[in-house]
Amino acid sequence: MKISEVIHYSLSYPVKKPYANSRTYNRSRRITMVEVKTDSGLVGWGESSGTVSDADIEQFVIGKSPFDYETIYDNLGRGGANCRAACGVEIALWDLIGKALDQPVWQLLGGKHRDRVLAYASGLFKPEGEDHAKGLSEEATRYRDMGFQAVKMKMGFGPDIDEEIVSAVRASIGDDVELAVDANCAYDPARAIESGRRMMAYDLLWYEEPIVPTDVDGYAMIKQALPTCRLAGAEGLASSRAFREVIQSRAMDVIQPDISIAGGFTEMKRVAAMAQADHVRVIPHMWGGCVRLAATLHYQATMQPDYPAPLNPFPCYCEYDMTENGLRTELGTRYPMEDGWVAIPDGPGLGVEINREKLEEYTR
């Protein structure tokens, strides 16, 4: 089986009701999908955060076997400089290998440690043209009633607003649902500490991206000021080299590599191996389309459990995007949440079917 063609699709889904994090309104959702074709007739699907040049595809991919996934990825990724773009091809190669062997990707990765993952509802953005706290209260109540055992909300709008909206959401979901907050790098360390101190009363699961992930010293300052608060971040970092300082400094309690940014399955395994050796928890980021969600689920199935294993382990949380996003809900296979959990797909490959009409409709 030789690779005969690679097609990149730039997709855009127009959002009907815009929503904001601390920095910007989402008016459309955009992803890059990758289709890798072979002379056997099998095709593989991937999702990335950029496109690989035609010259690189010609030199490093065309005519190669999908089983050369790691050398192909390393040639395309250039040690970190081009990982974001290379993710799509890398993920599509795993999909192809799985289809060729009639095995799910988690099986190719060495087997699964779990059949399902606990989902957290990722949403609770600032709604456009609505009362912020009231809108979030209604949304959070809906997630609780759907069966989610954890939710994540956006903050980073200034300490006063943060406290107002976090207290409103906590009151809506009660004390039995876990609550994570995400500032999307809105703050400097001083403001991150001020807002964090005021949120401590609301029992946070984690405090995500208070500041930019490259400010490792800044994370240390926040940690010193908020010692019992779990700090999370690094969703935008690409390549294991970029994660090295964050992991080794123990700047964050939780790192959140994204399979379509960090560098596909190959780089997720490298990052997780480093993190585990340094006792840093990995909870993958997932913000994209159905292929990224499928790939993330296969990867999460294979993540090593804590060792030694406690009776009540920290859940291997799955970020479950609850915002309006047709690239997740219309473009292909949906992976439903049931009773708070999402089942691991059974392949072959990623096990994702793509709706080509929707692919065409949302191609820019």
Residues that bind Mg ion (CB under 5 A): 182
Closest CA to 66 of 136, 6, 18: 6
Least Å distance, CB 143 to Mg ion, is 17
* CB-nearer residue toward Mg ion: 8 or 152: 152
The residue whose Cβ lies closest to Mg ion is: 182
DSSP 3-state of 177: coil
* CB-nearer residue toward Mg ion: 84 or 99: 84
Question: What is the residue type of 226?
Answer: L
Q: Tokens 């490959």 sit at which residue?
A: 349
DSSP 3-state of 322: coil
DSSP result, 43-75 = EEEEEESS---HHHHHHHTTT--GGGHHHHHHH
Least Å distance, CB 183 to Mg ion, is 8
279: annotated active-site residue: no
Least Å distance, CB 97 to Mg ion, is 31
For residue 239, what are the contacts with CB-CB under 8 A and spacing of at least 6?
77, 79, 80, 83, 262, 263, 267
* CB-nearer residue toward Mg ion: 36 or 183: 183
Helix (H) or strand (E) holding 343: strand 341-343
Residue 321 contacts residue 286 (beta carbons within 8 Å)? yes
* CB-nearer residue toward Mg ion: 35 or 182: 182
Least Å distance, CB 126 to Mg ion, is 14
CA 207 remoteness from chain centre: 16
Least Å distance, CB 298 to Mg ion, is 21
* CB-nearer residue toward Mg ion: 178 or 182: 182
Residue 60 contacts residue 26 (beta carbons within 8 Å)? no
Cα separation, 347 vs 107, in Å, equals: 9
The span from the first CA to the last CA of the chain, in angstroms, equals 31
Catalytic residue among 113, 132, 279, 285: 285
Least Å distance, CB 18 to Mg ion, is 18
| Phi-psi label, residue 45: left if phi above 0, alpha if psi -120 to 50, beta otherwise | beta
Cα separation, 236 vs 316, in Å, equals: 20
* CB-nearer residue toward Mg ion: 26 or 333: 26
For residue 113, what are the contacts with CB-CB under 8 A and spacing of at least 6?
301, 302, 303, 304, 305
Residues taking part in catalysis: 285
